[in-house]
Amino acid sequence: MRKSLLLTASCILMALGLRAQIPALERVEPMSWWTGMSNPNLQLLVHGNNIASRQVQLSYPGVKLVAVHKVENSNYLFIDFKLFSAAVPGTFPIKFVKKGEKDLTYNYTLKVRDHSANRAQGVTNKDLIYLLMPDRFSNGDPSNDVVKGMRETGLHRDSMYSRHGGDIQGLMNHLDYLKDLGVTTVWMTPEIENDEPHASYHGYAVTDYYKIDPRYGTNELYKQYVEKCHAMGLKVIKDLVHNHIGTESYLIQDMPMKSWVHQWPKYTNSNFRDMAVMDPHGSALDKKIMLDGWFDHRMADLNEGNPYVQNYLTQNHIWWVEYAGIDGFRLDTYPYNDAAYMAKWAQDVKREFPRLSIFGETLVWSAANQAFFVQGDRVNRGFDTHLPGVTDGVVKDAIMEALNGKEGWTDGVARLYAVLAQDFLYEDPTRNTIFLDNHDMSRFLSVVNDDYNKYKSGMAMLMTLRGVPQMYYGDEILMKGISNPDGLVRADFSGGWKEDKDNKFTAAGRSKEENDAFNYVRTLANYRKNTPALQTGKLMQFIPQKGIYVYFRYDDGKTVMVVYNSNEKEESTTTDYFAERIKGAKKAKSVITGETVNLDKLTIPGKSTLVLELLPSTK
């Protein structure tokens, strides 16, 4: 029966056979809320066996019952409240009444908002983000490796598509490692429940929006994790999925209404072509398939044009920020979402949390494609998306071309220069997140064919270019892997499990080469953390000359010069061409070695990069 839910519109409407199994009052979401929110309106989703046959009653000062909505499936009610300024924190009963039957009661709690300074503080170009997959980073609590009653109970570390047992406690145990590395912000792939039968360890097939996956921990542990990060001076990003939902969610197995998801006569995948959304010559069908097609058989495409879906998602995301105090959102598969809703969503969230940071995943192929989705409407889209920044895959591709490509008018390192020259397309390109790899693509070291000089050059660019740098777990210790299949880039971080032979979290557990890479990244990351010129300073780049690319990051206090030799062999260059930015400086300090360098002529090994802090001129 569940398989049929995925295939036909008539069956996907609701799983009638499940009704007898649903408790009379199965859940109320959001399960609690707060007084003093900017938006006084609140819509509760109530799920229970034939709950629509009951009347709703409540009485609490400052809370008004505005409307009760019955929908196609009688197992649901959507209840609209208004919370006035007179509403005070406390608990009050919501009663569901039916003549001749016992009343059902849910005790609803209104809490006091937490206005602590380190909550929802935002992630900016002052930060360095570390992305990890909790299942693959560290197992801090073996007791939750297998949870009775969940659909996937196996734990097989020898299989890339099975669960490996990593969890939130494991991450908490190693926050000091990240702090030492120079990381300022931690981003986990989604940690909320993914109760699918197989291979949902990645977190993008959500089955319960209000619950941390019990194999990772509990809601309370997640809150403690955020608090511990904040106490250590670290920030937290939460990964959100607006576009799709796991098919084992109660919201799919017993859908509120047919229009909760996008329906097709037969199963239809998205075409995954973002160009169809922006193409002025495009087919309406291509655009519909792009936006409304399903991401996967196990990932139903949510209908974000449905106002009940909109309220449910927006309130859930606001709930998590207020509950745990997270600092930013990463938005999965951003181009596949309903654009009007996403613009409204961003405004609604920022109204409650003005400092909260938001960036959308847009793995597209040109700067113009990326800019199409970013706020400010500088590409004449016709409206403002209110999306501050994106994952800058175009800069990532340009860095790879700079490292691997052959010199040409628009090839090799010239590609990176040309891409950055298109920053005029963005309202503020420094809000874009720049990266070298992530959980969906080949690891950086493998892309540069294990070339250590290229590896160091890429890391130098990551830490010195404009934007918010993000690195993927294990890149600092030379982890590698090719993304076809994806599992090969999602290996465990050695030392995160007590049975691991080597503990890469410690210098003693790393090889000489791994320690060299770790120290190189740590040096750059911590230098960046203490150098405002690399965070918020301006960027000036020069047209590459004979394969040598030079750019500067600078502010009133400091100038950093980055010199990349894209040639295979060692090259030398004089620096008079860069006098406009060097401004008479004669010497510089190497950020990596601390050595003093004369600026009259620089010698750079093949495929290598110099990161130099200019020293004040002495007369």
pLDDT digits (tens, 9 = 90+) for 400-456: 999 999 999 999 999 999 999 999 999 999 999 999 999 999 999 999 999 999 999
Question: Which CATH number is 129-240+310-530 given?
Answer: 3.20.20.80
Q: Which CATH superfamily includes the segment(s) 2-111?
A: Immunoglobulins (2.60.40.10)
Mean pLDDT of 28-55: 98
Edge-to-edge strands, sheet with 90-97:
32-34, 104-111, 90-97, 55-57
pLDDT digits (tens, 9 = 90+) for 363-399: 999 999 999 999 998 888 889 999 999 999 999 999 9
DSSP string, 11-56: HHT--GGGGGGS-TT-EEESSEEETT-SS-EEEEEEE-TTGGGSEE
Residues known to be catalytic: 332, 361
DSSP string, 227-269: HHHHHTT-EEEEEE--SEEETTSHHHHT-S-GGGB---SS--B
CA–CA–CA angle 480, 239, 297 (5° rounding): 80
pLDDT of residue 618: 66
**Alpha-carbon distance 359 to 354, whole Å?**
14
Q: Provide the pLDDT confidence category of residue 17 given band limits of 50, 70 and 90.
A: very low
User: How many other C-beta atoms can be found within 10 angstroms of the C-beta atom of residue 20?
Assistant: 7
pLDDT of residue 20: 52
Residue 485 has pLDDT above 90, yes or no: no
pLDDT of residue 2: 32
Residue 249 has pLDDT above 80, yes or no: yes
Average pLDDT, the chain: 95
Q: How far is CA 279 from CA 266, 270, 381, 386, 392, in A?
A: 26, 16, 11, 21, 21
Do 538-614 and 2-111 have the same topology in CATH?
Answer: yes
Proportion of the chain above pLDDT 70, given as a percent = 96
Q: How far is CA 285 from CA 47, 271, 276, 282, in A?
A: 35, 11, 9, 9
pLDDT digits (tens, 9 = 90+) for 262-298: 999 999 999 999 999 999 999 999 999 999 999 999 9
> What residues are paired with 63 via a beta bridge?
60, 83
Mean pLDDT of 152-172: 94
Q: How far is CA 119 from CA 249, 320, 388, 433, in A?
A: 30, 12, 19, 21
**Alpha-carbon distance 43 to 80, whole Å?**
4
Mean pLDDT of 95-124: 96
Residue 529 has pLDDT above 60, yes or no: yes
Residue 30 has pLDDT above 60, yes or no: yes
Q: How far is CA 20 from CA 51, 256, 257, 601, in A?
A: 12, 16, 18, 81
Assess contact for 494 and 174: CB atoms under 8 A: no
Assess contact for 591 and 585: CB atoms under 8 A: no
Beta strands 601-604 and 571-574, pairing class: antiparallel
Assess contact for 419 and 366: CB atoms under 8 A: no
Q: How far is CA 345 from CA 223, 292, 303, 352, in A?
A: 23, 18, 14, 11
pLDDT of residue 8: 40
**Alpha-carbon distance 104 to 590, whole Å?**
70
Q: How far is CA 611 from CA 66, 74, 410, 584, in A?
A: 62, 65, 24, 18
**Alpha-carbon distance 517 to 128, whole Å?**
17
CA 70 to chain centre: 35
Mean pLDDT of 511-517: 98
Residue 464 has pLDDT above 60, yes or no: yes
**Multiple choice CATH, 538-614, 3.30.70.1150, 2.60.40.1180, 1.10.10.10, 2.60.40.10:** 2.60.40.1180
Domain spans in the chain, listed from the N-terminal domain onward = 2-111, 129-240+310-530, 538-614
User: With b meaning 16 or more CB within 10 Å and e meaning fewer, what string describes 51-86?
Assistant: bbebebeeebeebeeeeeeebebebbbbbebebeee
**The one-letter amino acid at 327:** D
For 111, residues 6+ apart whose C-beta sits below 8 A from its C-beta are 32, 33, 34, 35, 89
Mean pLDDT of 343-361: 98
pLDDT digits (tens, 9 = 90+) for 66-85: 999 999 999 999 999 999 99
pLDDT of residue 18: 52
pLDDT of residue 573: 95
User: How many other C-beta atoms can be found within 10 angstroms of the C-beta atom of residue 50?
Assistant: 13
User: 238 φ, ψ to 5°?
Assistant: -110, 135
**Alpha-carbon distance 200 to 210, whole Å?**
17
Residue 319 has pLDDT above 50, yes or no: yes
pLDDT digits (tens, 9 = 90+) for 200-240: 999 999 999 999 999 999 999 999 999 999 999 999 999 99
Assess contact for 583 and 538: CB atoms under 8 A: no
What's 431's DSSP letter?
A: G
Task: Indicate the pTM of the whole model.
Answer: 0.96
Token couple for 481: 């892997």
Tokens 């927006």, located at residue: 314
